[in-house]
Structure formats: structure tokens, C-alpha cells
């Protein structure tokens, strides 16, 4: 889930939001302003209800952000690099560059999120009690009570033992600790996630049948999301297992053709040496080190009249926004970052920062096709030998 706009950095972590957050903000605000608030405390103006509803919804989104930041902070303390946090329609996601190094680290990273939501729920509840005792019931108390309830509900829901929820990570940590098999642990958690997803879809359809249209559709959407995400996580786990032990150098294109940052767009698009070769090229700075990546499509978006005076460095994707790796880095660790990049390309850098190669998602697809075919062939051969051995034993 890529961010549509940036919210800056919090404790050094890049935070962004998807456009769907605006839909969440509107839905929550409308639900509070047109439903809960006037039902609990009538007599206020429409604008008052909407102002309190908007403020309450914004605080809830901040609570979601606190939940994700806690994951990111604990992940960093356990040696996992955090690329950023994105808020979107169904909550938030902390993008981690690699897997937790141990079951204990997984347990700590996953468990802190529900714990933070639970603590926030308790704090909001306490604030509602204090404010109610001082000033009596009112919109402020109602808003705090709603925030308390929704954060506690968020903590309980996230603690369910099903991927991709935090409880699924906890389940994965437990199974991983007991079996020593990270793949088996992931597949167990993702299977639980699919089961929970189908249960939520069934509950949503039942509510829809009873006439609760919004609640039913919302539950069904969450269920569909759980199924889809759990399926993807299971596939990624199998992919990491398949690619385990393969270094980046085995799949990269070494010494790719690169272009200087000071070259013009017109020169780049008109260079016969580059034509038809690739759709993207590394860009080198004055010191010969990579500074970004330029695609033919991106260069082609520059108006024809500006191409002679526009340099590649001004329209390239900077290297800070690209996944990078070293030649000896494990390919399995690069895979999630590559899939999360819009360009689906990664630059491979040597120890001194020089360009060593480039990796694309197509390169990995070809490798996985070969490895899968080889595994199937080896499995078939082993099965044939096993069958032949049994026949020989029977003959004896």
C-alpha cells in the first residue's frame, strides 16, 4: 500500500497516508455527527456535532498511527529496518524491510501494537470518567468514551490469532518457537487468517440479510481483505523459502548500461545505443556513483519543447526512493522491497557505493520458474526412485 501524500517523519520514521484515509475520516465523522453524538446529547447545532465528530475521528486516526509507530519502533530496536508507515482505508501498515530475526523479536514487534491500543483505550476511558465527574455528561465525554471503546475494540480485534492481524504474528511466533520452522509458522497463521476472513464474510452477509447494510458490507470487506492478504503472505513465505540461500548476484544483470544525470531528455530518448534495449536505466552522478533511475515512460512525459534543456537528474526517481542491495545480500530479503516499489526494480551497489548491477521483478520471476521446475523434477525423480525401490523390495 503506497502513500498518496506524505505526513512527514515521526521519531525518524517516514509517515504517509493513502487517499482512502479521507474516506475513513468522512465515514467516521458522519457516523458520529449524524448518529451517536446527537442521539446521546440532543440540542446542539449541526455544526457543533460535525466539529466534535471531525475532531474525534482525527484523534482516532492518530491512535491508529500510534499503534503502527509502536510496531516500527520495536522493530528497529530488534534489528529490523523500517521503510515507513502508511495509513489507509482499513487502518495502517508499517513497512518492514525484512522479517523478524527470531520468534522472540516477532513476539515483541507484534505484541506492542495491541498493547498500545489497549493502553490508549484505558486512558481515554479514564479521561472520560474524570471529565464527566468534573463537568457532567456532554459531547466531550461522549467523544472520549467512544475513543476508549474503539481503541479497546481495535486491540481485541488485532489480537485475534489470524494473519495479517497482530494476533496472527503472535501465533506465528509461538509456532515458530515450538517447531523451529518459520515457513510452517507463517502458513499456520495465514491459514487461520483465511478462516477468519470467511467467517467475517459470512457474518457480513447475515447482517446484510437482516437489513444492516452498512455493517454487513463493512464486515464482508474486512473479511475479503483478510483472505486476500493472508493468501499473499502465504505465497510470499513460500517464495522466500524457495529463494533461501540465493544471493542477489545470482539474479542481477551485472554492469548495466547507465546514463549521466546531466544528459538531456532529448539525448537520452534519441540515443541509438539505448533504443529498444531496456525501459529503465540507472542514472550516475558526476562522481560516477548511482543517484537514481530513469524510465523511458518518465522521460517521455516531458513536453517535447523542453526535452533539450531538461536533464535526466531533474526527472529521475532518486536512489533514496529505490530499493538497493549488495551483491552478496540474500535475494529473499530484497523480494518484499522490490515488490513494494512502483518501478519493480532495485539497484545493486558494491561495498564502495558503485553500481554493480540491477534486479527486476522479471529477473526473479525467471529464477523462481526455473527453481520451481527444478524442484518439481527433483520431486518426481525422488518419487520414481522411491516407487522403483518398493517394487524391487516386493520382487525380492
Provide the annotated active-site residues. Answer: 68
Q: Is the peptide bond before 187 cis (omega within 30 degrees of 0)?
A: no
* Closest of 132, 138, 142, 141 to residue 36, by C-alpha: 142
Q: How many CA atoms lie within 13 A of 312 on its CB side?
A: 26
Q: At what angle do helices 361-395 and 213-243 cross, to 10 degrees?
A: 70
Residues facing residue 292 across a β-bridge: 283, 318
Instruction: Assess contact for 64 and 7: CB atoms under 8 A.
Output: no
Distances (CA, A) of 378 to 373, 375, 381, 382, 384: 9, 5, 5, 6, 10
Residue closest to 323 by CA, chosen among 288, 351, 361: 361
Q: Which three cell numbers stand for residue 4?
A: 498518496
Question: For the sheet containing 13-17, what is the strand order?
Answer: 5-10, 13-17, 82-88, 91-96
Q: Is-contact 25 106, C-beta < 8 A?
A: no
Amino acid at each position: 500500500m503506497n502513500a498518496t501524500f506524505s505526513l512527514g517523519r515521526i521519531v525518524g520514521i517516514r509517515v504517509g497516508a493513502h487517499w482512502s484515509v479521507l474516506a475513513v475520516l468522512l465515514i467516521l465523522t458522519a457516523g458520529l455527527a449524524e448518529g451517536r453524538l446527537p442521539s446521546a446529547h440532543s440540542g446542539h447545532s449541526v455544526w457543533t456535532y460535525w466539529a466534535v465528530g471531525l475532531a474525534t475521528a482525527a484523534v482516532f486516526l492518530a491512535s491508529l498511527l500510534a499503534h503502527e509507530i509502536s510496531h516500527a519502533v520495536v522493530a528497529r530496536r530488534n534489528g529490523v529496518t523500517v521503510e515507513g508507515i502508511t495509513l489507509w482505508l482499513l487502518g495502517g501498515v508499517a513497512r518492514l524491510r525484512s522479517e523478524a530475526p527470531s520468534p522472540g523479536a516477532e513476539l515483541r514487534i507484534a505484541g506492542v501494537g495491541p498493547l498500545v491500543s489497549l493502553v490508549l483505550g484505558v486512558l481515554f476511558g479514564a479521561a472520560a470518567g474524570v471529565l464527566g465527574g468534573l463537568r457532567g455528561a456532554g459531547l466531550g465525554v461522549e467523544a472520549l468514551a467512544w475513543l476508549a471503546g474503539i481503541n479497546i475494540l481495535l486491540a481485541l480485534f488485532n489480537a485475534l490469532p489470524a494473519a495479517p492481524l497482530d494476533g496472527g504474528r503472535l501465533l506465528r511466533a509461538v509456532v515458530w518457537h515450538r517447531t523451529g520452522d518459520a515457513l510452517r509458522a507463517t502458513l499456520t497463521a495465514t491459514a487461520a487468517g483465511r478462516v477468519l476472513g470467511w467467517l467475517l464474510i459470512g457474518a457480513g452477509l447475515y447482517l446484510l440479510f437482516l437489513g444492516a447494510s452498512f455493517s454487513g458490507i463493512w464486515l464482508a470487506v474486512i473479511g475479503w481483505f483478510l483472505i486476500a492478504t493472508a493468501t499473499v503472505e502465504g505465497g510470499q513465505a513460500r517464495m522466500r523459502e524457495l529463494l533461501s540461500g540465493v544471493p542477489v548476484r545470482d539474479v542481477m544483470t551485472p554492469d548495466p548500461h547507465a546514463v549521466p544525470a546531466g544528459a538531456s531528455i532529448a539525448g537520452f530518448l534519441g540515443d541509438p545505443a539505448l533504443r529498444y534495449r531496456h525501459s529503465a536505466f540507472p542514472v550516475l552522478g558526476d562522481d560516477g556513483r548511482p543517484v537514481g533511475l530513469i524510465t523511458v515512460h518518465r522521460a517521455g512525459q516531458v513536453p517535447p519543447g523542453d526535452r533539450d534543456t531538461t536533464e535526466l537528474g531533474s526527472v529521475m526517481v532518486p536512489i533514496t526512493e529505490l530499493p538497493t542491495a549488495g551483491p552478496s545480500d540474500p535475494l529473499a530479503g530484497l523480494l518484499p522491497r522490490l515488490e513494494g516499489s512502483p518501478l519493480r526494480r532495485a539497484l545493486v551497489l558494491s561495498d564502495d557505493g558503485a553500481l554493480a548491477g540491477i534486479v527486476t521483478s522479471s529477473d526473479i520471476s525467471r529464477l523462481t520458474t526455473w527453481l520451481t521446475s527444478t524442484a518439481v523434477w527433483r520431486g518426481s525423480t525422488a518419487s520414481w526412485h522411491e516407487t522403483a525401490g518398493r517394487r524391487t523390495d516386493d520382487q525380492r
